[in-house]
Chains A and B, each alone.
Chain A
Amino acid sequence: MSKLSRRTFVKSLGAASLAPATLLAAPPLLAAAAGATPPTQPSAATDEKPLYLFFNADEAAFIEAACERLIPHDEVGPGALDAGVPNYLDKQLGGSWGAGERLYRSGPWQQGTPSQGYQLPFTPAELFHAALRAILAEFDGKTAFKELSAEQQDAYLKSLEAGGKDLAGVPSAAFFQMLLQMTVEGYFSDPVYGGNKNMVAWKMIGFPGAYANYYDLVDKHGIKLDREPMSIGSDRHGLVHPDPNIPASL
């Protein structure tokens, strides 16, 4: 059962420093992973694969391996696969976000300066499909990306990140940045969107989630709030009812 371990910070007008008062209990250690596992493997507790609606099997295999390199499972905390990040990407790209919600889509198109931001005609779904087509073609006949070692996978991702490569019309850096951004979203967003499964990422950092009454706690300076995080989809018993098909529109 979780405890409120209190480290009261007592303000003083005269004290020379703001040293915290004596600990009543040490802050809990971050959860240790289950044994030493290879960097590309999620924890043993990962459920079966999600139902992919956007990615085909080959695309999904690449995405799973790539996301896991962006946020790998290790002794500090969960990785992208533990958190269900590929499922998040799949549902976003397959939904209204992927289709171009909230994107000014009229031409004409010019590359623009870095200050001018994204200037490609692709919707996120089109961008991912094109880029993945090119990436999978590159690996055709060779060892699949997911079979490479972690170092080789990282080197490939860095080559995408560095830019200069054209992925069926998509600049590789643009694809990489969108992949990274969506991976972070899938890791830290509310679990109702299909990622951050069981709020593992929130538990790692100590973010309490969507229910947030702190009126009586905000001035308990330095307190360690050791409570289970709460999702938008949490019910009274702490179970999250995710709906991975919730579109990200108002």
Chain B
Amino acid sequence: MNALARSNPIALRLLLVLALPSAALAADPPAGDAARGATIAATCQGCHGAHGEGVPATGGPRLAGQTAEYLGAQLHNYADGRRTNPIMSAMAKGLDAQKQADVAAFFAAQSAPYAARTVEPAPEQLARGRTLTRVGDESKQLQACANCHGPDGAGERYATPYLAGQSAAYVASAIKEWKSGARHGGEAQMRPVAQRLDDQDIAAVSAYFESLGDNAH
């Protein structure tokens, strides 16, 4: 029985009655309360900022405005080991499903200016990143990131997270986690992509997405 069922009585009842556990058809997480989440989020501020803008110095990525479903799923994945990170795994395990949903709802409701850049890319790097994200590379069998991640990293709500203005360091580390097989959740789509990106291209797309975090817009 997975951690979700242990901590979520509703999910447990559904699993017992219908005896059909399926990752794709798992019971709904509870609805999150952003006000309750604000209280919990105090412990997140150090790395993620008061409004989820991200803190470059700590490597904490931007969370503001990402869907509650996506943020909640990441917390769930950190809690049950599908993602691992020394800080986040411990954080997530300390939150039951309701608290996960609450803090996800809080950050989903935030809007915040973009944090400072973590990298200073060269023009060729940005150009390469722009090409990969908008067009792709046939020689590497890489389709444009935009197909799933939306126009200029805007995301496709409920399907794919936004990347515009996301910390370049974080995006690069996420791609590398898929490439190595360390990260689960989304690997059917992201692992093949990550495996076809070499270090230069990882740096290029990360830098390009971060560059879209332009507070002038």
Contacts and interface: CB of A to CB of B under 8 A. Distances in A.
Interface residues of B, number: 32
B104 to A, nearest CB: 12
Contacts of B153: 236
B27 A213 contact: no
Contacts of A110: none
A136 B27 CA distance: 62
A235 B25 contact: no
Nearest to B27: A8
B25 A220 contact: yes
A207 B19 CA distance: 34
A216 B67 CA distance: 14
A236 B154 contact: yes
Interface residues of A, number: 34
Given A215-B189, A230-B156, A6 B28 contact: yes
Contact of A220 (B20, B24, B150, B212): B24
A245 B191 CA distance: 40
B147 interface: yes
A225 B151 contact: no
22 contacts: A1-B109, A4-B68, A8-B28, A9-B25, A10-B14, A10-B20, A11-B18, A11-B20, A11-B25, A14-B19, A211-B148, A213-B147, A213-B156, A213-B159, A213-B189, A215-B159, A216-B159, A219-B25, A220-B24, A236-B152, A236-B154, A236-B164
Interface of A: 1-2, 4, 6, 8-15, 21, 24-25, 211-217, 219-221, 225, 227-228, 230, 234-238
